[in-house]
Amino acid sequence: MLSEEEYRRYSRQMLLAEVGYEGQSKLKEARVLCVGAGGLGSPVLLYLAAAGIGTLGIIDFDRVEISNLHRQIIYTRADILQRKAVIAKNRMMALNPHIEVNTYDEKFTSKNALACLSSYDIVADCSDNFSTRYLVNDAAFHLKKPNVSASIFKFEGQCSVFTAGEGPCYRCLYPAHPPKAFVPTCSEVGVFGMLPGMLGTIQATEIIKWILKIGDGLIGRLLTVDARSMQFREFQFKRNPDCVLCGQGKSFESLVYSQEEVCMNQPVPEISVDELKEWQAQKKDFLLLDVRELKEYEECEMGGKLIPLGDLQKRINELDPLRLTVVHCKGGGRSKRAVELLKSAGFADVRNLTGGITAWLKA
């Protein structure tokens, strides 16, 4: 039952015939879990809180960094180094004290996924990596919970809704986890600050529509946007009969989620800036491979061969697998992926420059 203040708060929304008092009551009774409280999670959480979703859950183990602030609009400069889940809850409660917000200051893993999601009606996948997206998809599928998923990359984004029994799942769209080397993060390639705001708002819209049972949801439809041209496109896709989840019906426990974490647990050979400079002074025979983008290379370079990370697989034949190779990027993240890729391709001796060109310039 809505209080007098809630009635006034949601009055403009309740004027819509598709919402009304009954619809607003449904929103108050709804329970939504948001996996990730970053660029996508910020608008999702704010809009769902403002709309009057009765119970919202936030699972995020990260802390606020200054580099988050250009896109993660739920945080301010005063929140730097604070727990995202806690700060997000405070903002939401300040916006709407008539809701309940549960926080899970932990990583979303195969060990807690089912428990976290089981008490919610629907999940918003606002994560920033493929491993978590597969995990959210699989947990939601097994619990028969709708999964409203979005992702972003540079200036482009996409959104879809996956509901067990009503359409294809995330694995139907992306059957295999892409190699870690081909999945650079926004800290490595950048992201347009407004883009997660656009996609997060679409996610919130789809969640509200699902709760109210209005309109046509993005089930079996992938909505994409390119912010540079401001073009929206829609692609329809169907269930894959060979999907390990939809078609083969593998159990939740048998599915492998974290190829990324497996790679991270395997040590990558490193070389320090001091060691590299010693090699250069000794005129040691090795190839210095730069996997940054062309613009970065033009602004500052160390004299190495440039092959951007995204082009490395198709240009790998330009490299000698028997030659000692040192790989670098700006800070060491992309070059680490490049080393993993080259080692998996059979390269004998590949090293990652610790700290990248940033450390080399400071030495």
Q: Please give the C-alpha separations between residue 68 and each of 36, 302, 357, in angstroms, as whole numbers.
A: 13, 29, 23
Distance between CA atoms of residues 1 and 24, nearest Å: 10
pLDDT of residue 260: 42
Closest-CA residue to 40 (of 260, 207, 180, 264): 207
Residue with tokens 């409280």: 37
What strands lie across the sheet with 122-125, from one edge to the other? 100-104, 55-59, 31-35, 122-125, 147-153, 156-162, 221-226, 231-236
Q: Could you report the per-residue pLDDT of 278-320, keeping only the tens digit for each?
A: 998 999 999 999 999 999 998 899 988 999 998 898 899 899 9
Q: Could you report the per-residue pLDDT of 139-161, keeping only the tens digit for each?
A: 999 999 999 999 999 899 999 99
Per DSSP, helices labelled H in the chain are 4-9, 11-14, 20-29, 41-51, 84-95, 113-118, 130-143, 170-173, 186-189, 195-212, 259-265, 273-281, 294-299, 333-344, 356-362
Whether 72 shows a pLDDT value over 70: the answer reads: yes
CATH code, residues 267-362: 3.40.250.10
Q: Could you report the per-residue pLDDT of 242-288, keeping only the tens digit for each?
A: 888 888 878 787 776 544 443 334 578 999 999 999 998 999 999 99
pLDDT of residue 174: 87
Q: Could you report the per-residue pLDDT of 211-225, keeping only the tens digit for each?
A: 999 999 999 999 999
| Amino acid at site 120 | Y
Q: What is the token pair recorded at 34?
A: 């948001």
Name the segment(s) of the chain with CATH classification 3.40.50.720: 4-263
Q: Give the chain's mean pLDDT.
A: 91
Closest-CA residue to 36 (of 62, 55, 70, 54): 62
Element (H, E) at 328: strand 325-328
- How confident is residue 138, by pLDDT bands cut at 50, 70 and 90? very high
Closest-CA residue to 134 (of 122, 119, 149): 149
Q: Could you report the per-residue pLDDT of 85-110, keeping only the tens digit for each?
A: 999 999 999 999 999 999 999 999 98
**C-alpha triplet 8, 102, 208: angle, nearest 5°:** 50
Three-class SS state of 216: coil
CATH architecture of 4-263: 3-Layer(aba) Sandwich (3.40)
pTM for the model: 0.74
Q: Which residues of 166-190 are buried (b: 16+ CB within 10 A; e: fewer)?
A: ebbbbbbbeeebeebbebbebebee
Of 17-26, 152-161, 182-191, the one with minimum mean pLDDT is: 182-191
Name the segment(s) of the chain with CATH classification 3.40.250.10: 267-362
Instruction: Assign 3-state DSSP to the chain and report helix, strand, coil percentages, each to 5.
Output: 40, 20, 40
